[in-house]
Amino acid sequence: MDSMRRIAITALAAASLTTPALAADPPTTPAAAKPFYTKLSNRTTFTRWAYTNLDIKARKSPSSKARSVGKLHFNTEDKRPEIYLALQMYTDAKGIEWVQTQLPGRPNGRLGWVPREGLGEFHLIHTQIVVDRRKLRITLFKNGKQILKAPIGVGKSSTPTPGGNSWIREKLNGFGNAVYGPLAFGTGTYSNKLTDWPGGGVVGIHGTNEPNLIPGRPSHGCIRLKNKDIVSLSHKMAPGTPVLIK
């Protein structure tokens, strides 16, 4: 019996030496992540903005192969740091991030996508300006609640104030021009013709030396406030604030 058992064990050992080993399972490739969008701003109760890191092209869609719709700039026409809103983010299957922003200048309302590295740190604010051209009124909201309301002057029929979504790009003061009051804000909207803004083009929100014309339609496209109101506005909101002109 012992000899027969030894023979069987020897046979099994021999078989194990001649039987090829099973191949290891092939390495699995992780499934590609699904692209997704992230909302960065709703332009009413929360808005993110950033300065420019790179003077790069903005694209029609989040792809380096998409058509160019404009370009980021470091400074405004007044040599202030340019501000861009961060509206939403697109993350592709490889984890590459693109940010949608609005571009200043004509045509108004242009949206474009830039690589995330094209913009700097995001800043979060909770204010919004609404300009009502029919009621000749400006209203400032914070977290959706009204915190300021004032009468305004807007563009006359031949040089109307353009409507649409915009934002405050810069704050200017100390320019010593009584026509524009104690200070002014530059927006991302441009007039189709001209404005009261030095050099033309930009639709500004500023004070006035003719408060008797407010409320009314006396301007070339800019939005005028009485001086006490523009000062009050400056104390309650900062550049980066979204603007809705309706």
> Active site residue: 73, 123, 222, 235, which one?
222
CA dihedral 151, 109, 156, 139 (to 10 degrees): 0
Considering the candidates 126, 206, 220, 235, report the single residue annotated as catalytic.
Answer: 206
Q: Annotated catalytic, 123?
A: no
CB of 63 closer than 8 Å to CB of 82: no
Q: What one-character-per-residue DSSP string does the chain give? A: -HHHHHHHHHHHHHHHHHSPPPPPPPPPPPPPPPPEEEE---SSS-EEEEEBS---EEESSSSTTSPEEEE--SB-TTSSBPEEEE-EEEE-TT--EEEEEE--SSSTT-EEEEEGGGB---EEE-EEEEEETTTTEEEEEETTEEEEEEE-EEE-TTSPPP-EEEEEEEEEE----GGG-SEEEEEEEE-SS--SSTTS-EEEEE--S-GGG-SEEEESS-EE--HHHHHHHHHH--TT-EEEE-
Asked about 235 being catalytic, the answer comes back as no
Contacts of 239 (CB under 8 A, 6+ apart): 49, 83, 168, 169, 170, 171, 185
In this structure, what are the phi and psi dihedrals at residue 161, rounded to the nearest 5 degrees?
Answer: -80, 120
Which residues are marked as active site? 206, 222
